[in-house]
């Protein structure tokens, strides 16, 4: 679209807006008919640690949202000379999980308890055992049950329980609904019905019946919607909440609110069965869309859904690229000592490319990148560790290849569970800093997953862009068009991507590295405990 076409689309209300509230940044992205971002806005914020709880205040939420929208509107005016008054659709997404309980008058009963709080271990363990379904500590139902176990008096007054995106949607549209992907981080979803698992709801009600609360769980939870479903429109009150200037019009369709995991799947074209995405940066996680249920509960795997309701297995690991960056800082210091000028980006590119010259098995080196504990491999605490035997080939290339292998090793351990479950995958989409050097991280990820890995040559705008796509899909989908078809055939059909198949030699070499890695975990555990 050219400048005049974009300006006219804005005036005609034929653009779609997505806004995502992440942990440190609220971001807005506006897209046109070609799905490309045409404007953006942002607001930086931070959670607070108050009275032992990680939280954001209601004032922080609304002032941050308004500032983000104001920044977007200013960006539109500066680029196109017009002010947006309407859109074809709007969508809101946010960090998943957490605890937002409201009373019958809509008042928040306790400060927002975010996903970051880990005070719910007892509740998560008991519910996982009861449901025979992994309930992570950050899930909303774990927070509710922990409040019950703690005897918190507010629980009897709860009349509505939702997530951050659901809260925004409720206040802006009057509808108590939630997209299925975000809902799957509150309570388990039955993918056959597309809503909360009624058997488990019954089990929970029976569990808490002795407390005599004047509610049943189903009464507290939002209505679950799939991508494209009718989720209401922006009310007059909602329009003023979002845009206090009074410019934004009411009546704009608002698509089902979603969580950041779901928008990440959309932004990487990973919502079809047998596809997935890997986000690799400070931490690393993989999302795999399943065509069949797992045979049993695995505590290492979180079960969520796509925004259209397909079951998704999530493998999350705490450590990825931080140790690589730490060594790069050391090499930069050495370069400065020798009078050689460089920068982090150039150095990392050079080191990553040198790793390609290393032996497929890293020459016998073993490296652990655990700056923190790693539950996937049973480590409560971390301590970076490098081991080389007398026969190891200790070269820069092997050292860097070991660094890259170590960054994905714990993830590979978790993904083994899916392989043992005979879960077939056709493609993983990679994104994040690990993939920044073309053809390097992508190659190692393909070896570790033993599956093709695709990387977009031009990155989108992350979760906010994914939310804008969900809004556009809700307003413009063809009859019977699935979200997977919309993304594959319309949005991503013309995008530049590269796909790498796993190299057999790399697969064999990584397997040899991983065998040594797992054999030495006892040494890593002892180092973290004793040194």
Question: How do residues 262-278 score in pLDDT, each as one tens digit?
Answer: 999 999 999 999 999 99
Cα→Cα distances 230→169, 178, 254, Å: 13, 11, 8
Any idea which of 127-131, 186-190, 234-238, 524-528 has the lowest mean pLDDT? 524-528
SS3 434: helix
Cα→Cα distances 11→5, 176, 193, 254, 464, Å: 10, 31, 40, 19, 22
Task: For 409, list phi and psi in degrees, rounded to 5.
Answer: -65, -50
Cα→Cα distances 218→161, 202, 311, 394, Å: 10, 9, 21, 60
Domain assignments of the chain as residue spans, ordered by start: 3-259, 261-318+416-500, 322-413+504-530
Residue with tokens 């994914």: 466
- C-alpha dihedral, 259 to 264 to 267 to 269, nearest 10°: -110
For residue 104, count other CB atoms closer than 10 A to its CB.
9
Any idea which of 94-103, 126-135, 182-191, 371-380 has the lowest mean pLDDT? 371-380
| Long-range pairs of 375-380 with CB within 8 A, sequence gap ≥ 24 | 375/300, 375/318, 376/300, 376/315, 376/316, 376/317, 376/410, 376/411, 376/413, 376/414, 377/410, 377/413, 377/518, 377/521, 378/521, 378/525, 379/521, 379/524, 379/525, 379/528, 380/528
Residue 294 to residue 313: CA distance in whole angstroms:
9
Confidence label for 431 from pLDDT (cuts 50, 70 and 90): confident
What pLDDT does 293 receive? Answer: 84
Report, as an integer, the average pLDDT of 245-266.
96
pLDDT surpassing 60 at residue 369 = yes
What pLDDT does 456 receive? Answer: 83
Question: How do residues 495-525 score in pLDDT, each as one tens digit?
Answer: 888 999 999 999 999 999 999 999 999 999 9
Portion of the chain with pLDDT greater than 90, in percent: 88
Burial of 457 (0-12, 13-18, 19+ CB in 10 A): exposed
**Mean pLDDT, the chain, whole residue set:** 95
Q: Which of 132, 161, 137 is nearest to 149 (CA)?
A: 137
Three-class HEC string of 44-104: ECCCEEECCEEECCHHHHHHHHHHHHHHHHHHHHHHHCCCCCCCCEEEEEECCCCEEEECC
Confidence label for 461 from pLDDT (cuts 50, 70 and 90): low
Structure tokens at 289: 């869309």
Contact, 262 vs 182, CB < 8 A?
yes
Confidence label for 458 from pLDDT (cuts 50, 70 and 90): low
Report, as an integer, the average pLDDT of 361-389.
93
Residue with tokens 């074209």: 269
CATH topology of domain 261-318+416-500: Nucleotidyltransferase; domain 5 (3.30.420)
Portion of the chain with pLDDT greater than 70, in percent: 99
Q: What is the CA radius of gyration of the chain?
A: 24
Q: Which of 266, 262, 267 is nearest to 460 (CA)?
A: 267
Contact, 47 vs 54, CB < 8 A?
yes
Residue with tokens 């393909």: 446
Same CATH fold, 261-318+416-500 and 3-259?
yes
Residue 467 to residue 68: CA distance in whole angstroms:
15
Q: What superfamily in CATH does domain 3-259 come from?
A: ATPase, nucleotide binding domain (3.30.420.40)
* Angle between helix 462-476 and 260-267 (nearest 10): 80
Q: Please give the model's pTM, rounded to 2 decimal places.
A: 0.87
Residue 404 to residue 125: CA distance in whole angstroms:
34
Per-residue DSSP letters for 442-502? HHHHHHHHTS-EEEESS---HHHHHHHHHHHHHHHPPTT--HHHIIIIIISTT--EEEEPP
């Amino acid at each position: 679209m050219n400048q005049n076409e974009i300006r006219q689309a804005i005036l005609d209300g034929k653009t779609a807006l997505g806004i995502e509230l992440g942990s440190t940044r609220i971001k807005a992205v506006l897209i046109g008919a070609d799905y490309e971002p045409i404007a953006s806005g942002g607001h930086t914020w931070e959670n607070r640690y108050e009275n032992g709880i990680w939280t954001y205040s209601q004032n922080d939420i609304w002032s941050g949202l308004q500032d983000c929208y104001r920044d977007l509107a200013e960006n539109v005016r500066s680029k196109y000379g017009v002010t947006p008054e309407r859109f074809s659709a709007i969508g809101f997404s946010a960090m998943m999980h957490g605890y937002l309980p409201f009373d019958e008058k809509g008042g928040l009963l306790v400060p927002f308890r975010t996903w970051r709080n880990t005070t719910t271990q007892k509740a998560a363990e008991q519910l996982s055992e009861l449901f025979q379904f992994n309930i992570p500590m950050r899930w909303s139902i774990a927070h509710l049950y922990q409040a019950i176990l703690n005897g918190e008096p507010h629980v009897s007054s709860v009349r509505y329980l939702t997530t951050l995106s659901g809260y925004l949607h409720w206040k802006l549209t009057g509808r108590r609904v939630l997209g299925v992907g975000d809902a799957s981080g509150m309570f388990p979803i039955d993918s056959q019905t597309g809503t909360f698992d009624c058997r488990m709801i019954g089990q929970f009600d029976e569990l808490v019946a002795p407390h005599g609360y004047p509610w049943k769980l189903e009464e507290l939870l939002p209505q679950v919607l799939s991508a494209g479903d009718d989720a209401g429109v922006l009310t007059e009150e909602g329009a003023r909440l979002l845009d206090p200037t009074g410019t934004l019009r009411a009546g704009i369709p608002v698509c089902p609110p979603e969580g950041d995991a779901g928008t990440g799947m959309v932004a990487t074209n990973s919502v079809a069965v047998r596809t997935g995405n890997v986000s690799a940066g400070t931490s690393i996680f993989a999302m795999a869309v399943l065509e069949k249920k797992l045979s049993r509960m695995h505590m290492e795997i979180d079960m969520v859904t796509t925004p259209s309701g397909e079951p998704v297995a999530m493998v999350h690991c705490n450590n990825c690229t931080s140790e690589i960056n730490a060594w790069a800082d050391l090499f930069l210091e050495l370069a400065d000592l020798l009078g050689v000028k460089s920068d982090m980006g150039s150095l990392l590119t050079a080191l990553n490319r040198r790793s390609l010259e290393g032996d497929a098995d890293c020459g016998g080196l073993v490296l652990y990148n655990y700056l923190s504990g790693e539950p996937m491999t049973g480590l409560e605490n971390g301590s970076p560790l490098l081991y080389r035997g007398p026969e190891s080939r200790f070269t820069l290339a092997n050292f860097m290849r070991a660094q890259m292998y170590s960054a994905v090793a714990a993830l590979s351990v978790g993904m083994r569970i899916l392989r043992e479950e005979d879960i077939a995958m056709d493609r993983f989409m990679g994104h994040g800093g690990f993939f920044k050097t073309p053809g390097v991280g992508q190659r190692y990820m393909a070896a570790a997953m033993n599956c093709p890995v695709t990387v977009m040559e031009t990155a989108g705008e992350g979760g906010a862009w994914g939310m804008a796509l969900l809004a556009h899909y809700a307003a413009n989908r063809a009859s019977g068009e699935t979200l997977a078809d919309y993304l594959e055939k319309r949005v991503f059909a013309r995008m530049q991507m590269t796909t790498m198949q796993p190299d057999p030699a790399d697969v064999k070499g990584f397997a040899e590295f991983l065998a040594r890695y797992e054999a030495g975990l006892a040494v890593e555990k002892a180092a973290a405990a004793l040194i």
